[in-house]
Every structure is written in structure tokens, then in C-alpha cells.
């Protein structure tokens, strides 16, 4: 038992920290919000350090319900980084937007604990528990601005559609259990491998169960055709929350998706590969086409995130170690450029109110040149223009797809990025070529400049120092497939 | 050594604004040192390359992908590198004179030097990914250069257009390169080019060629993608001169030449290049005559020149390669010179309209001399390199055989004759004839503006006279790169005097046609203009229509799939889901094998009836409360079924949950209007009914299929066998709850307790608020 607890030290620390901070908030009242927020950042950073220090080799805990390996370590690192940056970015935001309540950071922490559990889940039951812990916290923070109708609407939509998908997933999980007699990933993998070796096709119930699980997970990563909630929720939720939604939970859901597909269902590749190829193509194409006409930048980012998920899923669809490595690199790069973009969006305030129209960025290069430069880097990177980081993310997954002989997928991926480039570049054109709109309120706050600068530099200089991220991703992919 | 040479442009570009600030108006002389040094450095490779040697430089880059920063110097790469660095030197100097005193000149040097470095990267890269990276960097930096005067909306449009066309084409190229890499097993182009049989034999060959050519054609402005190039004339003249003579648009030609040994040789390759090249040549040359702007005339002749080059490479024969190599040099030299002198004329007179210009030879003698030499080379007069170019061109087209050869030769004659007319327009018009009144009073341009034209025009003459040197050090090695092997001396041989043979007569014919065309230029121009007006549509307009079409498509599809209504999202989710399951059943081959009606007892019928009634009622009633109650009935009926199948604990839980759900829902819904209007029309109701029934049917099929399979009974058997001996209990369910899974039960009790406590807290809070207490929520 002690050994089990040692495996989950980071999660344990975070959940205890969150609870302590909750108590702090309860007893000290709302004036403690900034304190709680600051300590939350510290808690996340300490958790990150604990994840970092954890032994790299695979360790299972609680009778195999829970596993920590290189893959989990890498993904947890990303999730915690995203959580920390989003907490930092909401520092001023929650104050300005009248939502400075101590519950906000605490809920983010609980959601993060859920994500860490998702990444480490090694059983359908622990998967579901982690997922729901995350979801329940996210429902609340999506609707955190109770006085804003858009925020409550987005919270409600998210709640209903997400519960539906959780229901599907649970239903699928129960079918899998019914037909395989186990919920453990390891046992499931063994059963399928055995069936594969014997040349048997798995029973209908099992395959349908797997399809249900895929549908549920596709919803969580907001892949087409289960993406409809994303634009509405991203637009309606408070911007700091949207930044969080588009990074940490997305990474966790993708990691979970990967673990489920490559672990227990790894020998059913023939059954799910076509589904994933279809989902991936649809996401890339729809993400690209739908974003073109958006006027609201948060909505545009929602479609952009749908497209990016499509690209990341190319890696999963390949079903190879190179594919998983590509996916891990892609998610890491996506995370930095997305957080950077949201840092810019969070600075879009005029006359003490948030503005969200893309046109509000007009002439940014003259009103705020450094911010325009950062945004330009993020947009070019998202468009996949070399030598920025986003290009390498794409190259890794495209090459993996080509190696796996998924030529159509790779070619459609490349071509849909032409369409996607169109709307990213339009923002660059607006910022650099058009007459300035009204300047944004200053100062943005030092923490915003810091986030923008750091993510901008990472995006810009990835091509000089690709090794930290790529080596990590490589180790993560190897660990996943070894386990 | 190669890597620093390639990226030094970026480094110098990064500090250029500070150089300008420190050195002032003479910064261009200092900045031009870098391209000049690079030129000398590349020239050092000439002796080796002339002997057929190649040089390869590689540095490890992106880990795990086989992406190396590798560079490759052979005849093709070296010729391009020399043109880029050599002409680049004069462009930098020219910029200093042309944009003299411009407050943003520092920014301009940043873009220009970065562009030069990117271009060097393209032509020297060996690794396909490295090539692509630099390829897109040229798109990006040229976007910045074209949009340099971003106050003007035309500049902005041209810049975005160029970026979309060439950047988009670049992505197609990437797809093509990835396919080539997958088939050839390496990403090094030099290695790929040694295995044409592997590439040709692959089923992906057609896709590769189409994608690679899409990239090359978009960059090299082949018809019908040629529209972005003339629009890019919005850029300051140094940019136009550089982009058109030796860089950017030539990158596509470079690519086609580079891929020629590996991808060339098929019918697809031949016809694609020859047809697109020839059409582009004629389109460009014709449209050039329609223009009344020196830069636009030159831009369209560039389109024609690019078409010619693509066509010649496409011939895939030594003669074609020779003609392409000679014409490449010819074109770079005269086009660079003429653009710069047109810019000088514009700079001095304030207009670029040839109709408003005349008699400048007296006022601008040096510029005139340079332009005249370049014009002679362009028209293919002895002893300029242009003359040799035209001779070998005719030789190459004639060699093609009776039908194709004649057609292609006639087209080439037409193209060349039209080019001669254009040469007349840009050289004769402004400098001969009467002096006309211009917005500014012309003087000879400053040395920066005529240095480049003079050197380039002089080289055009020198390359012609010293043709053996041109052949040995430049054209023969380049032919070797395109053919895959070094040509023997005979195949590569160039002549100034070729004897009284057909090509010579064709050259004379071309010249005669060109002179006649120039005499009637005014009339030709007007009738061309009238024809184009009558057609009223062009690819430029087509570009706008495509963009508008994409936006329309985007708008429509968002309208359809993103309504904002939750119910629509649910419809999509359920439909897709049902389709998913049906698809799975069909591919896996599951589903019920037989439709047997199991024996159903009367009590079960009652429960089933209740269920159906409840579900039906829920869809029909208009009161929320009634609907909730109806769904509750379904739940109770399910619980009844549990009772009948002797699972009282499950039934009990189900009763509790149902009751609680109904009560809670009703409590919540008390706060919203209870009566709902029928907001759906008949069509929507039918659609919803169809989807619901379909989902129901699918789930039923799944369940039936599943029930017919073997259920895994190991778990039930385990508990049945062990509950008495291990746990001493006869009720298996009880034993599981209190013994086998006692900890789970404890956890459940804990959860229920916590839920009860929090409900209590919420109720208390509500009561507290109703009493008028200041809620704690307002603290912030």
C-alpha cells in the first residue's frame, strides 16, 4: 500500500493542496482569492516538480487501476504547465471580470487532478472516475460568470452534451466488461492479443462497446462530428476558462484517447483505424473551413482547436510509435502556441471591457508592436509555416502517417492546412497592414507579458532546440508501447 | 561552412536596421559586402563543379525524423546560388539609391536579406524538409516585401494573394515530397534522384508529380496561376527586379529542374510541363503587349520566360536541358538589368508609362546603354547570350519530331517574337523618339541605380562572346544536374555561328516578326485590350471568386452545422452515433441472427406496456411536468422488470433514483415556465421522430445481437461457488455488498452521506437567503 501511495504522490499532493486551499478560502472569505490563486500556482508548480522527480520506469498502483509511466509523465507535465500558465493568466482577469472567487482556482486544481488521473488510468473504472472528476469541475467553471447569460448557457450546453457522451462511454465500458469480463487495460489487451493470435474476430458486443468508447472520447477531445459544443462553449465561457479548456483538458483527453486505443484496444487496430482516419480528416477539414468566417476570435480559436485535434489524431490513427511521438510533439507545441494566443486575447480590452472581435486586432503592429509580433508568431506557427514550431508538429505526424501508408490522410492533412493558413494569415494581415483600431487598455500586467514572451520564444526557437520536447515525446511514445 | 553561408543573410538582416542607423545613407555599400562575399565563395566551387564534382554538407537537425540540414552543390544549385548572390549584391546597392531617404529602409533590408538567404536555402538544400522550410520562407519574406507599401490596398491584396498562392502551392509540394520520401526511403533529394525506377514504379507516382508540380507551378506563375506575379509589381522596384530575374519565381523552375532526373521521363511529366509551359509562354507574351506600364510589360515577359523554361525542361532531352540552361542565364541577366533600368527611369521621370516617355537617351545615357544591351540580348541578337539561347531553343523544339516539333516551334517563334516587341516597348519607347514632358525633369540616375544594370548587361554580352567558358563552367554542369549524368562535350556544345541552318533562319524570322510587331504595337495593344474587355474574366478575378466561394461555403456550412441550438447538436450526435453502430455491425457482421420471440409472461407485458406508454406520452405532452412524470413511468417500469427477474436491490435503487430524479427535476423546473409552445413544425417533428426511432431500432438490434452471443458467466459462477464456503452467506447479492466488496459499500455510504450533507447545506443556504440574510456570495 505504501508503494501504491508513492506512485500517486503528485496527485495526492495536488488534491490535498486543493482541499487545503478550499478550506482557506472558506474560512478567510472572498478576500483570500488572490492568496488562494497564488498558492494554487505554487501547488501546481510543486506537483510539476514531483512529476518530474518521479521515477521514469513504469509503476502500477492499486491493483493495476492506476499506472505511472513515461507517457503519463510527459502528458502530466504538459497538463500541469498549461494549468499553471492559465492560473497565472487569470490573475488579473478574474478581478477585472468580477469573478474573483476563491472557488475558481480551487476548481481548476480539482479539474487538474482529474486530468492527471485520466492520463494515468489503467482501467475503465479509474478512467471514468478521472474523467468525471475533471468534468464536474469544468462544468462549474464554464458557467462561472453566473450573471452572464452566455457563460451560463455555455456551462449548460457543456454539461448536457458532455453527460451524454459520458453516458455513451460508460455504456460502452459496461459492454466491454460484459463481454471481456474485465475492465483492466492490461487484461483487455491480453484478451484481444490472444484473440488476434488465434485469428478470431472479437464479438459484436465488444466491438460495439469499443465504438461507444471511441464516440465518448471523440466528444471529449472535440473531434468532428462530436465537436458542436466547442465553439459555443469556447465563446461563452470566460476567456481565461476558454484558454484552460483549449489546452489542459484537451491534452488530458487526447492522452486518455491514446492510452485506451494503444493499450487495451491496441490489437484491434484494424477495427478502429478507419474510424480514426475519418474523424481526423473531418476535424481537419471542418476546422479549417468553419474558422474562415468567424468574426469572434474565441470562436475562431475553437474551430482552430478542432482542426489541431484532427492533426494530432493523425498520429494516433497511424497507430505506430512514430505516430504517438508525433502526437506528443504536436500536443506540446499546440499547448504553447495556444496559451500564447490566449494571452494575447486576454489582453484585448478596450475601455475596461473585453473585446472579442477579430477586427479589434486591426493595426496592432502600430499600437502594440511586441504583442503583434507575438501574435504573428503564434498565427504563422498555427498555420504550419516553417521554421516555427507548429510546422514541426505537423511534419512529425505527417511523416508518421506516410510511414504507416496512410497517404490519403497525410495529403488531405497537408492540403487542409492550406485552407487553415488562410484565416491565420488574415489575422497577420489585419495586425500588420490595416489601419489601427482603438488601442487596448494598458498595462496588460507583467505576468501577461511573461506568458506571451515565454510561449512566443518557445514557438519561435523550437527549430533551434527541438531536443527537449522531441526527446521527451520519444520516450513517452516508447514507454506507452512498452507498457 | 555551407550552413553559415546560407543563413548569414538572416543574421545580417536581423541587424540591418542598426547598421542603417549607424552608417546612415551609405549603409547599402556595407550591406552589399555580404552577398558579394557569398558570390565569391560560391564561385570557388566553379572549377570542381565544372569537372562534374558535387559537394554535400550535412548537419544533424530535427531528431528522429531523418531531417538533416543538408546542402548539396552541383551545377544546377551552383548556377542559381551565383545568380542569387551576384544579382543580390547589385539589388542591395540599388535599394540604397532607389529608396534613398525612405524612413523604413532598415526594415526593407531585413526582408531583402532574409529573402536572399531563404532563396539560397531553397537552391542548395538537399533534404526535402529543409528545402520546404526555405521554400516557405521565400513565400513569407516575399509576402513582406510585396506588402512593403502597406498603406496601399493594392499592395496588401497583392501580398496576401502571393502568399496564398505560393504558400499554398508550397504545402502541396510538401505533400509531394513526403510521398517521395515514403516511396524512396530517404528524404535526401540527391539520393531520391538516383532511383527514378523506384519512383516511377510506385502507384503514388502520379500523385507525387501532380503535387510537386502544383508547388512548382504556383511559385513559377504558370498559367492559370500566373496572376499573382504581375500583381506583385506593387512591390518597390528592387524587389521586382530581384524576384523576377533570379529568385522567387525561378524557384519553381529550379524545382522542376531538380526533380527532373527522378520524376522526369514519363508521359505525364512531359505533357504537363510542355503544355503548361507553352501555354504560359504565349499567354505571358501576349498579355505583355497589352500593358502600358514598364514594370507590367516586364512582369508578363517574365511569365512568358518562366513558361519557356518549364517547357524546355519538360522536353526531357539533352537539347532541351541545354536550351533551358542557356535561357536561364540569359533571362536572369537581361531581366535584372531591365527591371532596374525601368526603375531608374521611373525614379528620374516620375512615370512608368511607355506612352508618356520618349527620348531619354540624352538625359540618361548610361542607363540607356545598359538597357539597350539588355534589350539586344532579350531580342536574341548576335553576339549576345540571348542569341545562343534562341538558337538552341529552336534546335530543341525542332528535334521533337514532325508534328509536335512543328507545333512547338511555331509557338516558340510566336513567343519569342512577342518578347522582341516587349523589348522594343521597354527599351526603344522610353529612350528614342521625341523628348516628352514627364512629371519630373530627368537626369542621369545616381551610380547605385545604373551600376547593376551595366554589369548585368555587360555580362550578357560577355557570356555570349566567351561562350566556351559559359558552356564549361555553367551550362554543361547544369545540364548534368537535370539529366542525372554529365553530358559529353558534344551534347553540351554552344555555338555563336552554327552555320546556315534552319535555327538561324528561324531566328531571323523571329526578329522580322518582332520588328513588325513593334511597329504595329499601338494597334496590337488596343485590339488586345478590346478582346480582354470582351472576355471580361481572368484568373485574377477567378482568384477573387474562389476566395469568395470558400467564404460562402464556410458561411453555409457553419449555418447548417452550428446553429447554437442544443437540440440540433443532440440530433447530430445521435444520428452519427447510430450510423457508427450500424457501420460497425455491418463491417463486423454482428447483429441478431434470428428474430425469435421469447416467451413473455403477462406481468412482463404489463411492464413493457407501461414503458412504451410512458415513452410515448413523454413525446406527446406539452407540459414539462407531465413529460417528467411520463419518463418517470418508464423508469418505474424498468424497476418492475428488475423485480420480476429477482433483483430486488437493483429495483429498489431504481425506484429511489427515479423518484428522486422526478422530484428534483420538478423542483428545478418550477422556476421556469411550465407550459411549452410547440415550436417545431411538422417537418422537424417527422425528422426527430425518424431519428429517434432509428436510434431506438439500432440499439435494439445491438442488444438483440449481444444477447444472442455467449455471455461471460465466469464472474457469476465465481460468486455462486464461493459465497457459501468463503463468506458463509446464501444471498449472493448481500454477500457481495457486505463482504466481497465491503469497502465499496463503505465508500458508497460515505458518498451518500456527503451528498445528504451538501443537500442540507444548500437547503439551509436557500432558507437563509429567503429570510433576508446578506448572502455570503456578495463578499467579493
Q: Considering only residues B678 and A216, tell me which one the structure prediction assigns the higher pLDDT.
A: A216
Q: How confident is the model at residue B779 (pLDDT cuts 50, 70, 90)?
A: very low
The three cell numbers locating residue A95 = 478581478
Whether A243 is in a domain gets the answer: no
A387 to chain B, any CB pair closer than 8 A? The answer is yes
Q: What is the dihedral of CA B457, B460, B465, B466, to 10 degrees?
A: 120
A419 to chain B, any CB pair closer than 8 A? The answer is yes
- Give the nearest chain B residue to A33 (CA atoms): B780
- Which residues of A are less than 8 Å from B698 in CB distance? none
Q: How confident is the model at residue A134 (pLDDT cuts 50, 70, 90)?
A: very high
Contact B566 A161 (CB under 8 A): yes
- Which residues of A are less than 8 Å from B591 in CB distance? 204
Residue A73's nearest CA partner among A94, A95, A55 is A55
CA distance B481 to chain A (A): 27
Contact B182 A466 (CB under 8 A): no
Question: For strand A59-61 and strand B67-73, is the pairing parallel, antiparallel, or unpaired?
Answer: unpaired
A478 to chain B, any CB pair closer than 8 A? The answer is no
Q: How confident is the model at residue B776 (pLDDT cuts 50, 70, 90)?
A: very low
Query: Is the per-residue pLDDT at B778 higher than 60?
Result: no
Radius of gyration of chain A (CA): 21
Instruction: Count the neighbouring beta carbons within 10 Å of the beta carbon of residue B274.
Output: 23
B576 to chain A, any CB pair closer than 8 A? The answer is yes
Q: What is the pLDDT of residue B676?
A: 64
Compare CB distances from A402 to B179, B588, B589 and report the shortest one's residue: B179
A229 to chain B, any CB pair closer than 8 A? The answer is yes
Please answer whether residues B237 and B348 qualify as being in contact, where contact means their C-beta atoms are separated by less than 8 angstroms: no
Whether A131 is in a domain gets the answer: no
Q: Considering only residues B777 and A176, tell me which one the structure prediction assigns the higher pLDDT.
A: A176
**Total tally of structural domains belonging to chain A:** 1
pLDDT digit string, tens, across residues A266-302:
888 877 888 899 999 999 999 888 888 888 999 999 9
Q: How confident is the model at residue A381 (pLDDT cuts 50, 70, 90)?
A: very high
- Which residues of A are less than 8 Å from B709 in CB distance? 179, 203-205
Once rounded to an integer, what is the mean pLDDT over residues B252-270? 88
Q: What is the pLDDT of residue B589?
A: 67
CA distance B133 to chain A (A): 5
B372 to chain A, any CB pair closer than 8 A? The answer is no
Could you write out the DSSP letters of every residue in B393-453?
A: HHHHHHTT-HHHHHHHHHHHHHHHHHHHHHHIIIIIHHHSSS----SS---PPPHHHHHHH
Contact A181 B714 (CB under 8 A): yes
What percentage of chain B has pLDDT greater than the value 90?
6
Once rounded to an integer, what is the mean pLDDT over residues B754-774? 71
pLDDT digit string, tens, across residues A81-95:
999 999 999 988 888
Residue A77's nearest CA partner among A262, A432, A450, A328 is A328
- Which residues of A are less than 8 Å from B668 in CB distance? none
Contact A211 B178 (CB under 8 A): no
Once rounded to an integer, what is the mean pLDDT over residues B199-208? 88
Whether A460 is in a domain gets the answer: yes
- Which residues of A are less than 8 Å from B589 in CB distance? 201, 204
Q: Considering only residues A113 and B596, tell me which one the structure prediction assigns the higher pLDDT.
A: A113
pLDDT digit string, tens, across residues B705-726:
777 766 667 777 888 888 888 8
Whether A337 is in a domain gets the answer: yes
Contact B555 A398 (CB under 8 A): no
What is the rounded CA–CA span in Å between residue B413 and residue B423?
15
Whether A17 is in a domain gets the answer: no
What is the rounded CA–CA span in Å between residue B401 and residue B406?
8
Residues of the domain holding A421: 268-483
pLDDT digit string, tens, across residues B265-313:
888 888 899 899 999 998 888 888 888 888 888 888 888 889 999 998 9
With a CB-CB cutoff of 8 Å, which residues 713-732 of chain B face chain A? 714-715
Whether A99 is in a domain gets the answer: no
- Give the nearest chain A residue to B174 (CA atoms): A414
- The number of helix segments (H) and strand segments (E) in chain B equals 36, 2
Once rounded to an integer, what is the mean pLDDT over residues B247-256? 87
pLDDT digit string, tens, across residues A305-344:
999 999 999 999 998 999 999 999 999 999 999 999 999 9
Domain residue ranges of chain B, discontinuous segments joined by +: 265-341+349-528
The three cell numbers locating residue A122 = 489503467
- Which residues of A are less than 8 Å from B572 in CB distance? 225, 228
Q: How confident is the model at residue B775 (pLDDT cuts 50, 70, 90)?
A: very low
Question: Average pLDDT of chain B?
Answer: 83
CA distance B387 to chain A (A): 41
Whether A451 is in a domain gets the answer: yes
Max mean pLDDT among A4-8, A16-20, B139-143, B380-384 falls in A16-20
Contacts for B298 with CB less than 8 Å, ≥ 6 apart: B240, B244, B288, B335, B338, B339, B342, B422, B426
What is the rounded CA–CA span in Å between residue B505 and residue B276?
27
pLDDT digit string, tens, across residues B565-623:
888 888 888 888 888 888 877 776 666 666 666 777 888 888 899 999 999 898 888 77
Contact A157 B580 (CB under 8 A): no
ipTM of this predicted structure: 0.82
With a CB-CB cutoff of 8 Å, which residues 36-95 of chain A face chain B? none
Query: Is the per-residue pLDDT at A16 higher than 90?
Result: yes
Residue to mutate among B65, B129, B708, with most A CBs inside 10 A, is B65
B558 to chain A, any CB pair closer than 8 A? The answer is yes
Contact A418 B171 (CB under 8 A): yes
B146 to chain A, any CB pair closer than 8 A? The answer is no
pLDDT digit string, tens, across residues B161-176:
888 888 888 888 988 9
Whether A457 is in a domain gets the answer: yes
Terminal-residue alpha carbon distance, chain B: 63
Q: What is the pLDDT of residue A315?
A: 93
Q: What is the pLDDT of residue B591?
A: 62
Q: Three-class SS string for B342-375?
A: HHHHHHHHCCCCHHHCCCCCCCCHHHHHHHHHHH
- Which residues of B are less than 8 Å from A429 in CB distance? 156, 159-160
Q: How confident is the model at residue A120 (pLDDT cuts 50, 70, 90)?
A: very high
Compare CB distances from A30 to B178, B577, B779 and report the shortest one's residue: B779
Contacts for B346 with CB less than 8 Å, ≥ 6 apart: B237, B294, B295, B352
Q: What is the pLDDT of residue B777?
A: 39
- Which residues of B are less than 8 Å from A391 in CB distance? 133, 136
Please answer whether residues B454 and B428 qualify as being in contact, where contact means their C-beta atoms are separated by less than 8 angstroms: no
Q: What is the pLDDT of residue B354?
A: 81
Task: Tell me the sheet residues that pair with B67.
Answer: B62
- Give the nearest chain B residue to A163 (CA atoms): B570
Residue to mutate among A286, A300, A306, A422, with most B CBs inside 10 A, is A422
Q: What is the pLDDT of residue B712?
A: 66
Q: What is the dihedral of CA B741, B747, B752, B754, to 10 degrees?
A: 180
Once rounded to an integer, what is the mean pLDDT over residues A449-455? 93
Give the least confident one: A18-27, B237-246, B687-696. Answer: B237-246
- Give the nearest chain A residue to B779 (CA atoms): A30
B150 to chain A, any CB pair closer than 8 A? The answer is yes
Q: How many CB pairs under 8 A join A and B?
A: 198
Q: How confident is the model at residue B426 (pLDDT cuts 50, 70, 90)?
A: confident
Query: Is the per-residue pLDDT at A1 higher than 50?
Result: no
pLDDT digit string, tens, across residues B485-494:
877 777 777 7
pLDDT digit string, tens, across residues A153-168:
888 889 988 998 899 8
Query: Is the per-residue pLDDT at B427 higher than 90?
Result: no
What percentage of chain A has pLDDT greater than the value 70?
99
Give the least confident one: A225-229, A287-291, B680-684. Answer: B680-684
Give the least confident one: A385-394, B387-396, B759-768. Answer: B759-768
Once rounded to an integer, what is the mean pLDDT over residues A170-197? 86
Residue to mutate among B59, B590, B650, with most A CBs inside 10 A, is B590
- Which residues of A are less than 8 Å from B714 in CB distance? 181
What is the rounded CA–CA span in Å between residue A223 and residue B746?
39
- Give the nearest chain A residue to B591 (CA atoms): A204
B515 to chain A, any CB pair closer than 8 A? The answer is no
Q: What is the dihedral of CA A423, A428, A429, A433, to 10 degrees?
A: 170
- Give the nearest chain A residue to B133 (CA atoms): A386
Query: Is the per-residue pLDDT at B158 higher than 90?
Result: no
Amino acid at each position: 500500500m505504501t508503494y501504491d501511495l508513492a506512485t500517486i504522490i503528485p496527485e495526492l499532493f495536488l488534491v490535498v493542496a486543493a482541499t487545503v486551499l478550499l478550506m482557506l478560502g472558506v474560512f478567510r472569505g472572498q478576500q483570500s482569492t488572490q492568496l488562494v490563486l497564488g498558492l494554487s500556482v505554487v501547488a501546481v508548480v510543486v506537483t510539476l516538480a514531483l512529476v518530474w522527480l518521479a521515477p521514469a520506469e513504469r509503476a502500477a498502483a492499486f491493483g493495476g487501476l492506476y499506472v505511472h509511466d513515461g507517457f503519463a509523465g510527459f502528458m502530466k507535465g504538459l497538463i500541469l504547465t498549461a494549468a499553471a500558465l492559465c492560473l497565472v493568466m487569470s490573475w488579473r482577469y478574474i478581478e477585472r471580470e468580477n469573478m474573483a472567487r476563491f472557488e475558481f482556482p480551487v476548481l481548476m486544481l480539482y479539474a487538474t487532478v482529474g486530468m492527471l488521473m485520466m492520463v494515468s488510468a489503467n482501467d475503465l473504472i479509474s478512467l471514468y472516475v478521472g474523467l468525471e472528476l475533471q468534468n464536474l469541475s469544468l462544468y462549474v467553471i464554464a458557467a462561472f460568470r453566473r450573471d452572464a447569460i452566455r457563460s451560463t448557457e455555455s456551462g449548460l450546453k457543456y454539461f448536457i452534451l458532455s453527460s451524454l457522451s459520458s453516458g455513451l462511454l460508460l455504456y460502452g465500458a459496461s459492454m466491454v466488461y460484459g463481454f471481456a469480463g474485465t475492465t483492466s487495460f492490461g487484461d483487455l489487451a491480453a484478451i484481444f492479443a490472444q484473440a488476434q493470435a488465434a485469428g478470431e474476430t472479437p464479438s459484436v458486443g465488444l466491438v460495439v462497446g469499443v465504438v461507444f468508447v471511441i464516440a465518448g472520447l471523440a466528444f471529449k477531445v472535440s473531434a468532428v462530428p462530436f465537436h458542436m459544443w466547442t465553439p459555443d462553449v469556447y465563446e461563452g465561457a470566460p476567456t481565461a476558462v476558454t484558454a484552460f479548456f483549449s489546452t489542459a483538458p484537451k491534452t488530458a483527453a487526447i492522452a486518455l484517447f491514446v492510452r485506451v486505443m494503444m493499450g487495451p484496444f491496441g490489437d484491434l487496430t484494424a477495427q478502429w483505424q478507419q474510424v480514426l482516419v475519418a474523424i481526423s480528416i473531418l476535424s481537419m477539414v471542418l476546422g479549417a473551413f468553419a474558422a474562415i468566417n468567424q468574426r469572434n476570435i474565441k470562436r475562431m480559436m475553437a474551430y482552430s482547436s478542432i482542426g489541431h485535434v484532427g492533426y494530432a489524431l493523425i498520429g494516433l490513427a497511424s497507430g505506430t510509435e512514430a505516430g504517438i511521438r508525433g502526437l506528443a510533439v504536436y500536443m506540446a507545441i499546440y499547448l504553447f502556441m495556444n496559451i500564447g494566443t490566449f494571452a494575447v486575447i486576454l489582453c484585448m480590452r478596450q475601455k475596461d471591457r473585453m473585446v472579442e472581435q477579430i477586427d479589434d486586432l486591426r493595426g496592432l503592429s502600430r499600437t502594440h508592436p511586441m504583442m503583434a509580433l507575438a501574435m504573428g508568431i503564434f498565427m504563422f506557427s498555427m498555420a504550419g509555416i516553417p521554421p516555427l514550431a507548429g510546422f514541426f508538429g505537423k511534419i512529425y505526424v505527417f511523416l508518421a502517417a506516410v510511414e504507416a501508408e496512410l497517404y490519403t490522410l497525410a495529403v488531405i492533412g497537408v492540403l487542409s492546412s492550406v485552407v487553415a493558413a488562410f484565416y491565420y494569415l488574415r489575422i497577420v494581415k489585419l495586425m500588420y497592414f490595416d489601419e489601427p483600431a482603438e488601442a487596448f487598455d494598458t498595462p496588460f500586467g507583467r505576468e501577461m507579458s511573461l506568458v506571451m514572451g515565454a510561449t512566443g520564444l518557445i514557438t519561435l526557437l523550437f527549430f533551434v532546440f527541438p531536443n527537449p520536447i522531441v526527446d521527451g515525446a520519444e520516450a513517452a511514445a516508447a514507454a506507452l508501447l512498452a507498457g | 561552412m555551407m550552413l553559415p553561408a546560407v543563413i548569414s543573410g538572416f543574421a545580417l538582416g536581423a541587424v540591418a536596421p542598426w547598421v542603417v542607423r549607424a552608417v546612415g545613407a551609405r549603409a547599402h555599400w556595407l550591406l552589399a559586402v555580404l552577398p558579394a562575399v557569398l558570390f565569391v565563395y560560391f564561385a570557388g566551387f566553379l572549377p570542381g563543379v565544372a569537372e562534374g564534382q558535387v559537394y554535400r554538407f550535412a548537419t544533424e537537425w530535427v531528431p528522429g525524423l531523418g531531417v538533416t540540414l543538408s546542402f548539396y552543390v552541383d551545377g544546377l544549385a551552383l548556377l542559381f546560388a551565383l545568380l542569387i548572390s551576384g544579382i543580390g549584391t547589385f539589388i542591395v546597392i540599388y535599394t540604397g539609391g532607389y529608396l534613398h531617404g525612405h524612413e523604413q529602409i532598415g526594415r526593407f533590408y531585413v526582408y531583402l536579406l532574409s529573402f536572399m538567404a531563404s532563396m539560397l536555402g531553397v537552391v542548395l538544400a538537399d533534404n526535402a524538409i529543409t528545402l520546404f522550410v526555405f521554400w516557405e520562407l521565400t513565400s513569407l519574406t516575399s509576402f513582406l516585401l510585396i506588402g512593403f507599401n502597406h498603406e496601399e490596398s493594392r499592395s496588401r491584396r497583392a501580398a496576401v494573394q502571393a502568399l496564398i498562392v505560393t504558400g499554398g502551392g508550397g504545402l502541396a509540394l510538401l505533400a509531394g515530397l513526403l510521398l517521395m520520401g515514403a516511396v524512396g526511403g530517404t528524404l535526401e533529394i540527391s539520393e531520391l534522384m538516383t532511383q527514378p525506377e523506384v519512383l516511377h514504379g510506385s502507384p503514388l507516382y502520379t500523385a507525387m508529380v501532380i503535387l510537386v508540380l502544383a508547388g512548382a507551378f504556383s511559385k513559377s506563375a504558370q498559367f492559370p496561376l500566373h496572376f499573382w506575379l504581375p500583381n506583385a509589381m506593387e512591390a518597390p522596384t528592387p524587389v521586382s527586379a530581384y524576384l523576377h530575374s533570379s529568385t522567387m519565381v525561378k524557384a519553381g523552375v529550379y524545382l522542376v529542374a531538380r526533380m527532373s532526373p527522378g520524376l522526369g521521363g514519363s508521359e505525364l511529366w512531359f505533357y504537363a510541363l510542355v503544355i503548361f509551359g507553352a501555354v504560359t509562354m504565349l499567354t505571358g507574351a501576349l498579355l505583355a503587349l497589352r500593358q502600358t506600364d514598364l514594370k507590367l510589360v516586364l512582369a508578363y515577359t517574365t511569365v512568358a520566360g518562366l513558361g519557356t523554361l518549364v517547357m524546355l525542361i519538360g522536353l526531357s532531352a539533352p537539347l532541351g536541358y541545354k536550351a533551358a540552361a542557356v535561357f536561364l542565364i540569359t533571362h536572369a541577366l537581361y531581366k535584372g538589368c531591365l527591371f532596374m533600368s525601368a526603375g531608374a527611369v521611373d525614379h528620374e521621370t516620375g512615370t512608368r508609362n511607355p506612352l508618356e516617355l520618349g527620348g531619354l537617351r540624352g538625359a540618361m545615357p548610361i542607363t540607356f546603354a545598359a538597357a539597350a544591351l539588355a534589350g539586344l540580348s532579350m531580342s536574341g541578337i548576335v553576339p549576345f547570350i540571348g542569341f545562343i539561347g534562341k538558337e538552341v531553343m529552336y534546335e530543341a523544339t525542332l528535334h521533337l519530331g514532325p508534328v509536335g516539333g512543328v507545333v512547338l516551334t511555331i509557338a516558340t517563334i510566336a513567343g519569342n517574337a512577342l518578347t522582341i516587341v516587349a523589348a522594343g516597348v521597354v527599351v526603344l519607347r522610353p529612350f528614342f523618339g521625341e523628348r516628352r514632358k514627364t512629371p519630373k525633369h530627368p537626369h542621369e540616375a545616381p551610380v547605385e541605380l545604373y551600376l547593376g544594370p551595366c554589369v548585368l548587361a555587360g555580362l550578357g554580352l560577355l557570356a555570349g562572346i566567351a561562350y566556351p567558358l559559359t558552356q564549361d563552367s555553367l551550362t554543361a554542369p547544369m545540364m548534368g544536374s537535370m539529366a542525372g549524368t554529365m553530358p559529353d562535350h558534344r551534347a553540351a556544345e554552344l555555338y555563336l555561328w552554327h552555320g546556315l541552318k534552319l535555327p538561324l533562319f528561324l531566328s531571323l524570322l523571329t526578329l522580322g516578326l518582332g520588328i513588325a510587331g513593334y511597329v504595329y504595337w499601338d494597334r496590337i495593344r488596343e485590339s488586345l485590350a478590346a478582346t480582354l474587355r470582351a472576355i471580361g474574366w481572368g484568373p485574377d478575378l477567378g482568384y477573387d471568386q474562389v476566395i469568395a466561394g470558400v467564404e460562402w461555403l464556410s458561411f453555409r456550412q457553419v449555418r447548417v452545422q452550428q446553429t447554437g441550438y442544443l437540440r440540433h447538436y443532440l440530433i447530430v450526435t445521435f444520428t452519427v452515433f447510430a450510423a457508427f453502430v450500424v457501420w460497425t455491425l455491418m463491417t463486423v457482421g454482428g447483429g441478431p441472427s434470428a428474430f425469435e420471440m421469447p416467451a413473455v409472461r403477462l406481468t412482463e407485458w404489463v411492464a413493457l406496456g407501461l414503458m412504451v406508454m410512458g415513452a410515448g406520452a413523454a413525446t406527446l405532452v406539452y407540459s414539462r411536468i407531465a413529460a417528467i412524470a411520463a419518463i418517470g413511468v418508464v423508469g418505474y417500469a424498468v424497476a418492475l422488470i428488475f423485480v420480476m427477474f429477482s433483483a430486488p436491490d437493483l429495483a429498489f435503487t431504481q425506484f429511489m433514483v427515479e423518484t428522486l430524479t422526478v422530484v428534483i427535476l420538478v423542483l428545478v423546473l418550477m422556476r421556469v415556465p411550465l407550459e411549452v409552445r410547440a415550436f417545431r413544425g411538422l417537418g422537424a417533428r417527422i425528422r426527430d421522430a425518424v431519428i429517434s426511432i432509428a436510434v431506438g431500432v439500432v440499439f435494439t438490434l445491438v442488444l438483440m445481437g449481444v444477447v444472442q452471443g455467449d455471455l461471460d458467466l465466469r464472474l457469476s459462477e465465481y460468486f455462486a461457488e464461493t459465497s457459501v464456503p468463503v463468506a458463509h452467506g446464501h444471498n449472493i447479492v448481500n454477500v457481495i455488498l457486505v463482504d466481497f466488496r465491503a469497502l465499496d459499500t463503505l465508500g458508497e455510504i460515505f458518498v451518500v452521506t456527503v451528498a445528504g450533507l451538501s443537500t442540507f447545506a444548500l437547503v439551509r443556504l436557500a432558507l437563509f437567503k429567503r429570510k433576508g440574510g446578506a448572502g455570503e456570495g456578495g463578499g467579493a
